Amino acid sequence: MNRPYNFSAGPAMLPQSVLEQAQQEMLDWRGSGMSVMEMSHRGKEFLSIAEQAEADLRELMGIGDDYAVLFLQGGASSQFSMVPVNLLGEKSGADYINTGAWSKKAIAEARRYGEVHIAATTEADNFTRAPEQNELQLDAEAAYVHYTPNETIGGVEFPYVPETNGVPLVADMSSTILSRPVDVSRFGVIYAGAQKNIGPAGLTLVIVRRDLIGHARAGQPTMFDYKTHADNGSMYNTPPTYAWYLAGLVFQWLKALGGLEAMARINQRKAELLYSAIDASDFYSNPVSIESRSWMNVPFTLADPALDPVFLDEAREAGLLTLKGHRSVGGMRASIYNAMPEEGVQALVDFMADFEARNG
């Protein structure tokens, strides 16, 4: 089946082979007589699916036994609260790095629980770059340092992992997790909504160092305590079973591809193809400083914004979907997550050249 290329920022494309496998297994998962959607989360069939998915993720990311992997609901947005609830402890505050729209949301939520110290902000540069390590004004007494490795709306990605000198580092990896290898041991908490690079919406992945579990603020909801979920294998209540299953299929797909190093090479090629097409033209532009450009989300504008609706209409007819930029930014945004094939980016670049030739 020939499907169009979908550049949505999230929920986003999934690998076609994963969707086909899910389709084949939809009515009868491997002789069980049930769809995964109809299974008890405590039955042996689903437990095997859940365990395999976690084992595959641990292998892909190199997650040590000193970390718990939680399969939760509530989205990355719930983690904006759960992180301070679980990590502030006796400390009065935490450091936050502000690089754009998602950082700001995390900061606003953390302010409900404690003092937020802004360790760095690139707002004066209109959030077109990540701050450098030597710009970070870190408080050695902070409970943790929070940052957004990839700002999905601005298309700004950190080219390095901040050094925090022993203070737990917390990362909202929603739009970059699994796009390249990371050294998990550098982090206290990694969290991500699934709908960009993991699977369907409804699942939220939290990778948390075990010594950070068990210190939740008193009086907070049971469901907001990492310990509740870590002690119960993410099955204190009914987990998002179907999304967990689909995430597992995506992990298998990544392993078959050669793991995160192979994925990173492909992602880097895709990003370079698109950015070099943008940079080579006077018609398209991207405002982000070169070293901070995202491999996953590529915002760009047309020289004449009056052409935006024409561009979008013609792109859709050419089989290139969901290129409209975020409502807060305008212009275009091409999200080229793991599941976007190289041919999709090539098709976009070809379309852009043709559109420029006709309208530039």
Ligand X SMILES: *Cc1c(COP(=O)(O)O)cnc(C)c1O
Catalytic positions, written as ranges: 102, 172, 196
CB of 102 to ligand X, least distance (A): 4
Stretch that binds ligand X, among 71-79, 154-162, 240-248, 252-260 (CB under 6 A): 71-79
CB of 33 to ligand X, least distance (A): 33
Nearer to ligand X, 153 or 345 (CB): 153
Cβ neighbours of residue 142 under 8 Å, at least 6 residues apart? Answer: 91, 93, 94, 95, 117, 167
Report 134-153 residues binding ligand X (CB under 6 A): 148, 152
Q: Which of 102, 244, 251, 351 binds ligand X (CB under 6 A)?
A: 102
Q: Which of 77, 128, 285, 346 binds ligand X (CB under 6 A)?
A: 77
Q: Which residue has the tokens 């078959």?
A: 256
Nearer to ligand X, 175 or 252 (CB): 175
Nearer to ligand X, 53 or 72 (CB): 72
Stretch that binds ligand X, among 35-43, 75-83, 262-270, 300-308 (CB under 6 A): 75-83
* Binding mask of the shown chain, residues 164 to 193, with x at each position contacting ligand X by CB under 6 A: --------x-xx-----------------x
Q: Which of 4, 10, 259, 360 binds ligand X (CB under 6 A)?
A: 10
Nearer to ligand X, 74 or 114 (CB): 74
Q: What sign does the CA torsion over 253, 205, 342, 131 have?
A: negative
Q: Which of 67, 68, 75, 245 binds ligand X (CB under 6 A)?
A: 75
H or E element: which one contains 266? helix 259-279
Structure tokens, 283: 């018609």
244 binds ligand X (CB under 6 A): no
In contact, 322 and 334? CB cutoff 8 Å = no
Measured between its terminal Cα atoms, the distance across the chain in Å is: 34
Cβ neighbours of residue 257 under 8 Å, at least 6 residues apart? Answer: 263, 266
Report 37-56 residues binding ligand X (CB under 6 A): none
What's the rounded Cα separation, in Å, for the pair 85 and 171?
16
In contact, 334 and 7? CB cutoff 8 Å = yes
CB of 85 to ligand X, least distance (A): 16
Structure tokens, 21: 């496998």
Within 10 angstroms of residue 183's Cβ, the number of other Cβ atoms is 9
Structure tokens, 159: 């080219």
CB of 117 to ligand X, least distance (A): 20
CB of 148 to ligand X, least distance (A): 5
CB of 24 to ligand X, least distance (A): 28
Q: Which residue has the tokens 């090629």?
A: 269
Nearer to ligand X, 77 or 281 (CB): 77
Nearer to ligand X, 302 or 339 (CB): 339
Site residue total, ligand X (CB under 6 A): 12
Nearer to ligand X, 56 or 172 (CB): 172
CB of 201 to ligand X, least distance (A): 7
Nearest-CA neighbor of 349 among 5, 2, 3? 5
Whether a cis peptide bond, with omega within 30° of 0, leads into 11 is yes
Stretch that binds ligand X, among 58-66, 69-77, 229-237, 243-251 (CB under 6 A): 69-77
Strand 332-335 relative to strand 297-302: parallel, antiparallel, unpaired? antiparallel
DSSP letters, 189-236, are: EEEEETTTTTSSTT-EEEEEEGGGSS-PPTTS-GGG-HHHHHHTTT-S
What's the rounded Cα separation, in Å, for the pair 230 and 177?
21
Site residues (CB under 6 A) for ligand X? 10, 75-77, 102, 148, 152, 172, 174-175, 193, 196
